[in-house]
């Protein structure tokens, strides 16, 4: 892969990772409620899920592009519905969690939600079909690039999570307003997925 293409892919990766999406908005919301430390399991699950999606995109990209017209509407609807579910859960939250709260974010939640995160799936397909596969088809190199593709999103996740942890005192004072804003942002993500 030429260096210029690699640099273009890196810029795309970081821009895609920092823009609002289901992961970033959820992390902003979760860390404002639980704090950064208690949200690390969710973040690790997200990153593991994103890596899994990148590997699947790597191994199946050529086959998926042939089938994509048939599965794209299903992925869109499933992803949008899941994000609407997250919006409803966000809207119904009561306030900051105490130390014994049972609904603390889990690794498995972060992992599974990636398989319904249309933004991540399209990101993986775009990277492999537009940047990587036109320049190399060596499977070991393709697989080696998968963790690299997670870095842009991970950077964005950390930025949004840190910002959310700083908002925790504000969140405790303005629970309803913050929940409404976060839920509306998630609805916005869902609508953008359907309209894309």
H helices of the chain, where? Answer: 3-18, 22-34, 40-92, 107-113, 118-126, 139-166, 168-173, 175-195
Find all residues with CB under 8 Å of 137, minimum gap 6, and list them.
none
Q: Can you say how many angstroms the Cα of residue 57 is from the centroid of all Cα atoms in its chain?
A: 15
- Tell me, yes or no, if the pTM score tops 0.75: no
- Low-confidence residues of the chain, pLDDT below 70? 62-72, 74-76, 78-79, 83, 93-104, 171, 189, 193, 196
Amino acid 98: pLDDT: 47
Q: Find out whether 17 and 156 touch, Cβ atoms under 8 Å.
A: yes
Amino acid 79: pLDDT: 61
Amino acid 150: pLDDT: 94
Find all residues with CB under 8 Å of 34, minimum gap 6, and list them.
96, 97, 101, 104, 105
Amino acid 103: pLDDT: 63
Max Cα separation, the chain?
A: 54
């Amino acid at each position: 892969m030429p260096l210029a293409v690699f640099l273009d892919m890196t810029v795309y990766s970081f821009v895609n990772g920092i823009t609002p999406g289901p992961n970033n908005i959820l992390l902003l919301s979760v860390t404002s409620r639980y704090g950064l430390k208690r949200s690390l399991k969710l973040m690790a699950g997200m990153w593991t899920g994103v890596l899994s999606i990148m590997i699947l995109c790597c191994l199946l990209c050529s086959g998926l592009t042939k089938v994509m017209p048939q599965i794209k509407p299903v992925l869109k609807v499933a992803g949008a519905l899941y994000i609407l579910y997250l919006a409803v859960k966000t809207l119904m939250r009561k306030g900051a969690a105490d130390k014994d709260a049972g609904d603390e974010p889990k690794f498995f939640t972060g992992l599974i939600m990636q398989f319904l995160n249309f933004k991540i799936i399209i990101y993986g397909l775009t990277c492999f079909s537009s940047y990587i596969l036109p320049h190399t088809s060596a499977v070991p190199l393709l697989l080696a690039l998968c963790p690299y593709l997670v870095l842009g999103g991970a950077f964005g996740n950390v930025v949004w999570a840190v910002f959310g942890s700083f908002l925790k005192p504000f969140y405790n004072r303005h629970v309803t307003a913050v929940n409404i804003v976060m839920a509306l942002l998630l609805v916005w993500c869902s609508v953008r997925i359907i309209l894309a």
